[in-house]
Amino acid sequence: MIPTIQTRQGRRGAAKREQRRNRILLVSLVAVIIALGAIFIPPILEAGDGVIPGSPGGPETPVPVLPSPIELSIVCVGDVMVHKSQIASQYDQSTGTYNYDNNFQYVKKYIEAADLALCNVETTFAGGTPTGYPSFNAPDALAYSLADAGFDVGLTSNNHLYDKGLSGIKRTLRILRKAGLATAGTRLPWERNYALMDVKDVKVAIISYTYETPSNGGRSTINGVILSDEAKAMINSFNYEVLDEDLKKVAATIEDAREDGADIVVCYYHWGEEYQRSPNLWQEYIAKETVAMGADIIFASHPHVLQAVEILKDEETGREVPVFYSMGNFLSNQRAETLNNRYTEQGMIARVNVQYDSATEKVTLLGTDAMRTWLDKYRFGGKDVYAIVPLDNDLEENEALKASGHLHRARQAADDVEAVLGSDYIWR
């Protein structure tokens, strides 16, 4: 530090000679400082405008811009099945081809509007002659109609995946992918056992599992049919007889997906009891365990009727995870006329809106609801017509209902679904 002359002098009656000498010394010191500054001033001041960034009047120092949280809309529907009457109804004899586009024409706008859309494909595409229940084998055209309707992922883990054996599993994957859908639930031996989708620069893992029927001689079975070793290795499944042990496989799959970069994990289960309108204890137990594993969303089906929606909270992290215990039938011939059960005609487009923040890697639940659906069936031009009708505000203007005269049945379905889900979960 340069001391001030006045302080160092310390005497009031200093001679003029001393003052003059001190002034000369001060001027000399200032000159030295200026000279040194000319040597050591950074080049930026020489070449620029002489203003230091961030100083008053200077340019602002750039502030890093963090990416904004991304909102995603994910939808899923329940069982898509093709019974015998649905094969005949979609066949065009003049061209020898099938087409299922008209089944989805009224719900297509809701599916396409989502950022990611999933469906349970409860049939095989094994080729050859199409067949209905009990051994499902749909025309390939159904896969293309699902893609045209806006679905992105076909869920293939269900109790009918082995209806046409190992070759049926393999060809089903090939046809769905050829149509433009990703798959989850079954896989080829060298593939990972989940789908990883890039949705608006967010990686979403789709993990799909089905229940097994009771084992036979220590061998796994699907619908009572013993799985070959090769088939078993291609299927995501769990057995109620050794449930806790098998749930470790689900946890491992979730962990693998996270290590693979998954930001959001969606789990689908094929579980529960057919035609039961409430989840059983097994479903509730698996759901709670899956939340603890780190899943963000749980969709499910198999009972062929709707069951409740519930928001479970992760006790450790506080995350809220929606669980759709059964999304019911989306497309089938199970109905009042065939099963004396009107609830099998009812379904939903389950919707979950989430926000992903890449800065914190946090998934936040924004909303959970469901578009109620009802499957209409009527005769026109000598053929059965199937139309999935959204039970929305335009119900009375729906062309299928005008043609069938079934508006009263659709209204009843709307009331039935709301009674199961509760008014808070109705997508209006």
Q: What is the DSSP string of 186-247?
A: B--TTS-SSEEEEETTEEEEEEEEEEPEEEETTEEEETTEEPPHHHHTTB-EE-GGGHHHHH
What does pTM read for this prediction?
0.85
Residues 6+ apart with CB under 8 A from 254: 205, 207, 265, 267, 293, 294, 295
- Say which residue the tokens 């379905």 belong to: 413
The pLDDT value given to residue 62: 72
Displacement of CA 8 from its chain's centroid (Å): 78
Provide the 8-state DSSP code for 115: S
pLDDT in tens, the chain (428 residues): 333 333 333 333 344 334 444 444 444 444 444 444 444 444 443 434 444 444 455 566 676 666 789 999 999 999 999 999 999 999 999 999 999 999 999 999 999 999 999 999 999 999 999 999 999 999 999 999 999 999 999 999 999 999 999 999 999 999 999 999 999 999 999 999 999 999 999 999 999 999 999 999 999 999 999 999 999 999 999 999 999 999 999 999 999 999 999 999 999 999 999 999 999 999 999 999 999 999 999 999 999 999 999 999 998 889 999 999 999 999 999 999 999 999 999 999 999 999 999 999 999 999 999 999 999 999 999 999 999 999 999 999 999 999 999 999 999 999 999 999 999 999 99
Q: CA–CA distance from 87 to each of 98, 100, 139, 140, 333 (Å)? A: 8, 9, 8, 11, 11
pLDDT tens per residue, range 336-366: 999 999 999 999 999 999 999 999 999 999 9
What's the CA gap between 185 and 155, in Å, rounded?
A: 6
User: Bridge-partner residues for 58, per DSSP?
Assistant: none
Nearest to 238 by CA among 166, 159, 292: 159
Q: Which of 142, 145, 152 lies closest to 74, judged by CA?
A: 152
> Of 266, 346, 387, 389, which is closest to residue 79 (Cα–Cα)?
346
End-to-end Cα separation, the chain, in angstroms: 76
- Residue 309's H or E segment, with its range, is strand 309-313
Q: Which tokens hold the place of 32?
A: 């030295």
Residues 378-393, buried b or exposed e (16+ Cβ, 10 A)?
eeeeeeebbbbbbbbe
Residue 101 near residue 148 (C-beta atoms within 8 A): yes
